[in-house]
Structure 1
Amino acid sequence: MRSESGLFKGLNPTVTIASKVLVIGFVIFCAVLAEQAGAIFQDVSTVVLDNAKWFYLAVVSGVLAFLLYLMVSRFGHVRLGKDDEAPEFGFLSWISMLFSGGMGIGLIFWSVAEPMFHYADNPFTQGMSEEAAAMAMRLTFFHWGLHPWAVFVIVALALAYFSYRKGLPLTLRSILYPFIGERIYGPIGHAVDILTVAITAFGVSQSLGLGVIQMNSGLNSVFGLEIGMGVQLVMIALIMFFAIASVMSGVGRGIRRLSEWNMLLSLVIVAVVLAIGPTRYILNTLLQSTGDYVDNLIAMSLWSDAHADSGWQNWWTAFYWPWWMTWAPFVGMFIARISRGRTIRELVGGALIVPTLVTLIWMSVFGGSALHEELQASQAYQQAVASDELSADSEFAGGAVLQATQADTTSALFTLFESLDPGLLGSVLSVLASLLLATYFITSADSGTLVLCILDSVGNPEPPQSIRVVWGVVIGAIAGALLYAGGLETIQTASIIAGLPIAVFLLIMTVGLYRTLRREPMAAAMLPPQVRPAAEELDQASGRPEYAAPRSSSSVTTVGGEVA
């Protein structure tokens, strides 16, 4: 399966060639026929959301419940590796990397914009009211909290378990082993990895393209840098140059150090905004909104707008869930790559609970500051009307942050900084945010590139350097081509459709993981003696005969000393 010599040495030629042909062909289609492709994908995605919304909601909520169960169950003690194996990375480095590779970019982009949209309009409260402000934070917490991380973690957990515990390749094909056995090394396994490569390449490229637009907006607001295609293409080239350099240096050096820098700079920006912003309001918002989120978690998870069927949920929740699913293969595999040696309880707790808490703090600081600005603007308008400075018939269109968000979401964060401090400090914050965007994009690009390389090399956690360069160049080229041809929105719409088969795959991996865990010796040994499997059954499970290596030496890959 993996070539031992020639041009594709260390790689799976089938996956390497077929995935690039698929990706490049689809990109050309979306770039050349962006308008027609967009119309087709929009129609199909509308049909999918209208008819499968309930399925998306049920799958994501079910996965979250399953992970929380695993964390507190006897399976939580199972180590993702050998029983005495220590974690590869320290806790802080691990958290920094999984957060940077997960949704660091999105939090910067939407931390102000999403609360503003919900504040202006949501199906539960009157827009631009105090009730709408509270609802805006609840909905934002919901969309960026436990549920998206659950989608990432289930993939990470299944991959890490089957790879590090069972000795199978670190690729999505291994998740099918409980169902099809050694056939994962054949056409079915190739097809799974090829589709995973395609989805990952599209997701990283689109994120890179959309991100440079926001960076361009931030630099324009501070330095007056022209907003244009040429500037954005140069940004893509620079980001991918540093991403390639980082991914070539390996996870332990480049990606880890950049991730730690991301967290440090994020803390600095949060601390400054907390200090110069409405501190008391932010802290109260964090406390109240967290309680509101936890109190309504189950109801929000299962709410499907069945009676009104207003379409709002298709624009938000039912759009987000398949969107997160298309990111799950990439983010999940990266989290698995850096989680060797941790227990199931550590992985679920660290990659589900901790990032959610960080997200709630981040959203409260930036979203809370923006809401405070808007509530102040609303009060000023009402006072002006009461004092006859404005006509009672005049229409209030919102404050500066809301208007900027509705005009261009990429400018929302930078408008907030200007509102908090129109002078030097606001400009400094905009510069730091642009720098943070760049470093988050670099870590997302290099972690995405690493995942693509691992898939091409049949799960080798340290793939050949040559393929790292190739994928880095391809990712940058795809992002630039889509940006130039206007195909970014087309890819985004297509991702919603891709979420449907991924949702089915999530169910399959959940069932396969649970079935295998029930035969796990370490978990079985924790049962009461009267229900514990017989000693010979434990011995048989410990020998793991069902996870024997493939017979052909050309199809094996070494993962941490085990043959897979």
Structure 2
Amino acid sequence: MRQLLQNAHDRLGLRTNPTRFFGAAFIAIAFSVVTIVFTSRVNSTFSVASEWILTNLGWFYISGVTIFLLFLIVIALGRFGRVRLSPNDEGPDHSTLSWFAMLFAAGIGTILLFWAVAEPTYHFAQPPREAMGVAPESIQAAREAMAFTLYHFGLHTWTIFALPALAFAYFIYRRNLPPRVSSLFQPLLGNRIHGPIGALIDILAIVGTMLGIATSIGLGTLQINSGLERLFGVPNTVGMQIVIISVVSVIASVSAALGIERGIKRLSNFNIITAVLLLVFVLFTGPTLLLLKGTVESVGTYAAMLPELMLWNDTFDNTGWQNYWTAFYWAWTITWSPFVGIFIASISRGRTIRQFVFGVLGLPTLFSVIWYGIFGMATFDRELNGPGGLVEEVVGQGDIPGALFIFLEGFPLATFTSAVAIALVGVFFITSMDSAALVMDMMAKGYEEEGPVVQRVFFGLGVGLITIALIVTTADDGLRALQEVITVIGLPFFALGYFLMYSLWRGLKEDAGELEPLPARRWRRTLPPEEYVRRRGDGVDGDWHEEVGYYDDPDCTEPTRYTSPNGADPLGEVPAGGVTAGIQGASLPDGDASTAKGRDASQPRAD
């Protein structure tokens, strides 16, 4: 079999690992075919599996991301934070602005637009903690809606990307291992990462990544189709969605063929600039002062609720809300993590671990706070002070993909801004696909240098094929069905996250070495003057007088004789009257009044 794969590999002119490439390709194609042919059975299987996972392991998803976040903070603040993710004399490859634009566009650019209006609206109309007394469409519901939205798209989302990204950067650029998921487990598996176990890990990672990206592209397709329907009357059908996926897949494959500098970087920079312009437009054509005040206040609400939300599992009310929101988000995001992780690592070479962690967690979170703050507060202003309508269409009619376009209808130049939003979704869509194609090709071949273009094109088209399969399968209930698929796929990725933390920590300890105890002077034990005199006078047995006494220096071996202010020697001969007479005869002063070679007797004595 190995020779057969090698022969096929050579005939196609590939430069990759045949087992990993063909293994991932076979599973991806088989999944697509089976999904399309046995639609109802596949739907039923994923539905049952997802329901069981969410009912019994939702807490595992929620607590896991918080544990990952705390681990990253400990790593960054500790001594390992100074480790540079490259040879020690090499600085960053990209400016901070370009770095931010690329990691953001490849991370949550697509869902940034999908949920900007939809999630605040949904939580405003149906508060997650309604059972705890939060009334729907109230001021408190609006505050908590912002906190939950920022929880889903703030620190925790970027934690899921940052953990594998940090591990990739460390093992690729410090240990010079292949850019594969199996390399992250080298401290645990050793050379077995190059054998069957490593190949299995990489194949599953590639396939899982394709499914995660396909889910995001499926959501993006629903949004593009909804926008085209509202603007131009384009039918919102499965056939049109397949056309959209096909067109974008071709464009993404071309961008991937051009590489990072000529394709992905330029598209990412264009996208982030356009997104900022749309944000500024909403800010200055809407109730500007309210949006600014509300965004700042949302940060406070998020910060206040975050400690509780980090481990909140809806235990007592058991409404099931988290099953289809938080748990789904974490499962969905973690299936992206191998692809986003390698991509972020590749653009973060040269930064220290501390810079990396706080940059990847901080910069995108700051932008998310501003983005969702502006769009969220504008949404609440429309519902509380304006004509409303968002709650009815987004929640009542379930038009979540169309939420952004309904929102923009309340602003000037609605047609133009909606067209810009559609273009933004499409370009984010493209940057996600081309980045994924580039990374999956890297994972399959095991090195960073560019290989044959056909390999990158294959992975780009492969993601498109899986997306089409998911769209066809979930046509009746697109969003809910996509959630069920990704919840199941995300479970093994979460389990691997714990092994990943241990592997990274172990690797850092092995390479940085253990710190020796801080050297310090050795101090001898010191007795109070009266106790020292008493022991001498009473003739206490033992060698205590060699280990204790009055000492000026930590290394001295002989007791220093102290003198009282009147010149008497308390350590002289003990009078016949015993220790009491000795103390009286020596006229021992209080400890603070004694001096030793000019030093205050209250100074530390030798240990």
Alignment TM class, shorter chain as reference = 0.7 to 0.9
**C-alpha distance in structure 2 between counterparts of 1:320 and 1:58, whole Å:** 13
Do structure 1's residue 400 and structure 2's residue 405 form an aligned pair? no
What is the Cα deviation at residue 289 of structure 1? Answer: 0.9
* Residue 316 of structure 1: aligned partner: 325
Q: 1:530-545 alignment to 2 at 5 Å?
A: 530=519
Corresponding position of 1:85: 90
Whole-Å separation in 2 of the counterparts to 1:142 and 1:63: 15
Structure 2 residue 362 is the aligned partner of structure 1 residue 373? no
Please give the secondary structure, in 2, of the residue aligned with 1:245: helix
Q: 2:261 aligns with which of 237, 244, 252?
A: 252
Letter of the 2:173 partner, please give it: Y
Partner of 1:510: 501
Partner of 2:62: 57
Q: Distance in 2 between matches of 1:84 and 1:410?
A: 48
Partner of 1:374, secondary structure, is: helix
Q: Which residue of 2 aligns with 1:535?
A: none
Counterpart mapping for 1:22-421 below 5 A? 22-122=27-127, 123=129, 124=132, 125-377=134-386, 399-406=388-395, 407=397, 408-421=399-412
Q: TM-score, normalised by structure 1?
A: 0.86
Aligned to 1:452: 440
| Partner SS state of residue 166, structure 1 | coil
Q: Which has the larger displacement, 187-196 or 81-90?
A: 81-90
Give, in whole Å, the separation in 2 of the partners of 1:245 and 1:372.
42
- The Cα shift of 1:238 comes to 2.2
Larger relative contact order, structure 1 or 2 (CA cutoff 8 Å, min sep 6): 1
Q: CA deviation at 1:440?
A: 0.5
For structure 2, the residue ranges without an aligned partner over 5 or more in a row are 521-607
Aligned twin of 2:456: 468
The structural deviation recorded for 1:490 is 4.4
CA distance in 2, matches of 1:498, 1:475: 15
Q: Is the 8 A contact 2:14 2:455 kept in 1?
A: no
- Please report the TM-score for the alignment, with normalisation by the length of structure 2: 0.80
Deviation at 1:528, TM superposition (A): 7.0
Contact 1:30 1:491 in 2 (8 A): no
Partner Cα separation in structure 2 for residue 293 and residue 347 of structure 1: 23
Decide whether aligned partners of structure 1 residues 169 and 133 sit closer, same or farther in structure 2, where only a CA change above 3 A counts: same
- 2:415 equivalent to 1:427: yes
- Find the counterpart in structure 2 of residue 13 from structure 1: 18
- In structure 1, what is the Cα distance between the partners aligned to 2:117 and 2:172? 39
Q: Indicate if the aligned counterparts of 2:24 and 2:204 stay in contact, CA closer than 8 A.
A: yes
What SS does structure 2 have at the residue aligned with 1:302?
A: coil
SS in 1 for 2:94: coil
> How far, CA to CA, are the matches of 1:287 and 1:149 in structure 2?
21
Distance 1:494 1:154, change over 3 A: same
Runs of 4+ in 1 over 4 A off after TM superposition: 1-6, 487-491
CA RMSD of aligned residues (A): 2.0
Q: Is the 8 A contact 1:10 1:463 kept in 2?
A: yes
Cα distance in 1 between the residues matched to 2:41 and 2:69? 37
Q: Shift in Å at residue 196 of structure 1?
A: 0.7
Return the alpha-carbon distance in structure 1 between the equivalents of residues 325 and 514 of structure 2: 42
Shifted more, 211-220 versus 262-271: the winner is 211-220
Question: Is residue 501 from structure 1 mapped to residue 483 from structure 2 by the alignment?
Answer: no
Larger Rg: 2
Distance (whole Å) between structure 1 residues aligned to residue 143 and residue 306 of structure 2: 15
The 3-state SS of whatever aligns with 1:150 is helix
Report deviation, 1:29.
2.0
State the distance in 2 between where 1:285 and 1:181 align: 52
Q: Distance in 1 between matches of 2:240 and 2:316?
A: 48
| Residue type of the alignment partner of 1:462 | E
CA deviations 1:109-161 (Å, max 9, x no partner) are 00100111100112241111111011110110111110011011000000110
Q: Write the distance in 1 (CA, Å) between the matches of 2:411 and 2:385.
A: 12
Match of 2:566 in 1: none
Rounded Cα–Cα distance in structure 1 between residues aligned with 2:450 and 2:519: 45
- Aligned mates of 1:118, 1:448 — CA distance in 2: 31
For residue 373 of structure 1, what is the amino acid of its counterpart?
Answer: R
Q: CA deviation at 1:172?
A: 0.4
Structure-1 separation of matches of 2:509 and 2:246: 48
What is the deviation of 1:351? 1.0
347-356 or 43-52, which deviates more: 43-52
8 Å Cα contact 2:242/2:468 also seen in 1: yes
- Matching residue's letter, 1:360: V
1:80–1:160: 8 Å Cα contact kept in structure 2?
yes
Offset of residue 485 of structure 1: 4.4
Residues 37, 490 of structure 1: 8 Å contact kept: no
- Between 101-110 and 316-325, the greater mean CA deviation after superposition: 316-325
Query: CA 1:233 to 1:497, structure 2 compared with 1: closer, same or farther past 3 Å?
Result: closer
Task: Give the length in aligned residue pairs.
Answer: 506
SS of alignment partner, residue 449 of structure 1: helix
The range that moved more, 278-287 or 263-272, is 278-287
Structure having the higher helix fraction is 1
What is the CA deviation profile of residues 153-194 of structure 1, one whole-angstrom value per residue up to 9, with x for unaligned ones?
A: 000000110111001111100111111100010111000110
- CA distance, structure 2, for counterparts of residue 252 and residue 88 of structure 1: 12
Shift of 1:205: 2.1
For residues 525-564 of structure 1, the aligned pairs below 5 Å read 529-530=518-519
| One-letter amino acid of the counterpart of residue 10, structure 1 | R
Q: Which residue number in structure 2 is paired with residue 551 of structure 1? A: none
Q: Which runs of 5 or more residues in structure 1 are unaligned?
A: 381-398, 532-564
